[in-house]
């Protein structure tokens, strides 16, 4: 059985939630088999898969295609898909585009801020995960958010507004640990941190970052659990050498 948004909501205070991104069938299947509770089809695919310099270039067609691929690899994990930049500027567009992602296989969608639009999606019967702090679709200042009292209070109020709107959980990105702790203790829905310290109800990372596959830059909050770019290069070099030396394919890899 698939993990539902309501089940995730009920995990508040009952142990840490593990969440990772996926953009394709094969990766999603591994996530599901590993028992990851939430798999995010993030608009981060724009940078780590499609090679854009910003997430703003990701389209609804991109998100629908990748959401479908991921959902076909999932049996149990909860699949949440990002509504991309420009797809939820008003209530009507938001509800329509959220429905497209659900039809593609998502179990819920994610929005950045915008509580009124978020509520319209929820009123349409679609669960929503909120996202506050550093919100890549609209922010121009890519550094830790909420460091001064005014900014911290604003982010805390956004968390409360999204909870009131009906979000089942919140992403807290790139905010000080103390602020994340305060938000986590204030709201009754799970918080999932990325660069927000240990006190959140769960954690999320971009999988190509975590696996050491994406090497254009490395945020401070990313821990490399593998170094796949080095492993892949080594394998490719070995393959290339065997082809040039006529060692591959050998008899064992040929038909007779």
DSSP-derived letter for residue 35 is T
CA distance 230 to 227: 6
CB 50 within 8 A of CB 58: yes
Angle made by CA atoms 114, 145, 43, in degrees to the nearest 5: 55
CB atoms within 10 A of CB 153: 12
Cis peptide upstream of residue 249 (ω within 30 degrees of 0)? yes
**DSSP characters over 75-94:** SSSEEEEEPPTTS-SSHHHH
- The one catalytic residue in 173, 230, 242, 245 is 173
Q: Is 238 among the catalytic positions?
A: no
Token reading at 113: 């801020």
Task: Point out the residues that are catalytic.
Answer: 173
């Amino acid at each position: 059985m698939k993990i539902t948004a309501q089940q995730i909501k009920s995990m508040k205070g009952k142990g840490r939630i593990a969440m990772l991104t996926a953009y394709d069938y094969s990766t999603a299947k591994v996530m599901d088999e590993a028992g990851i509770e939430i798999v995010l089809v993030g608009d981060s695919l724009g940078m780590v898969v499609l090679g854009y310099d910003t997430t703003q270039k990701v389209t609804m067609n991109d998100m629908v295609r990748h959401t479908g691929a991921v959902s076909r690899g999932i049996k149990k994990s909860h699949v949440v898909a990002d509504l991309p930049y420009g797809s939820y500027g008003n209530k009507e567009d938001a509800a329509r585009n959220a429905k497209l992602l659900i039809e593609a296989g998502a179990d819920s969608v994610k929005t950045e801020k915008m509580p009124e639009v978020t509520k319209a999606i929820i009123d349409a019967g679609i669960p929503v995960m909120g996202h506050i702090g550093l919100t890549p679709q609209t922010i121009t200042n890519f550094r830790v958010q909420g460091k001064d009292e005014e900014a911290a209070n604003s982010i805390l109020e956004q968390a409360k507004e999204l909870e009131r709107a009906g979000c089942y959980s919140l992403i807290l990105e790139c905010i000080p640990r103390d602020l994340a702790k305060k938000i986590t203790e204030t709201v009754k829905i799970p918080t999932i941190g990325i660069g927000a310290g240990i006190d959140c109800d769960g954690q999320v990372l971009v999988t190509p970052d975590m696996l050491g596959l994406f090497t254009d830059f490395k945020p401070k909050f990313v821990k490399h659990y593998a170094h796949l770019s080095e492993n892949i290069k080594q394998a490719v070099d070995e393959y290339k050498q065997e082809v040039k030396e006529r060692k591959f394919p050998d008899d064992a890899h040929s038909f007779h």
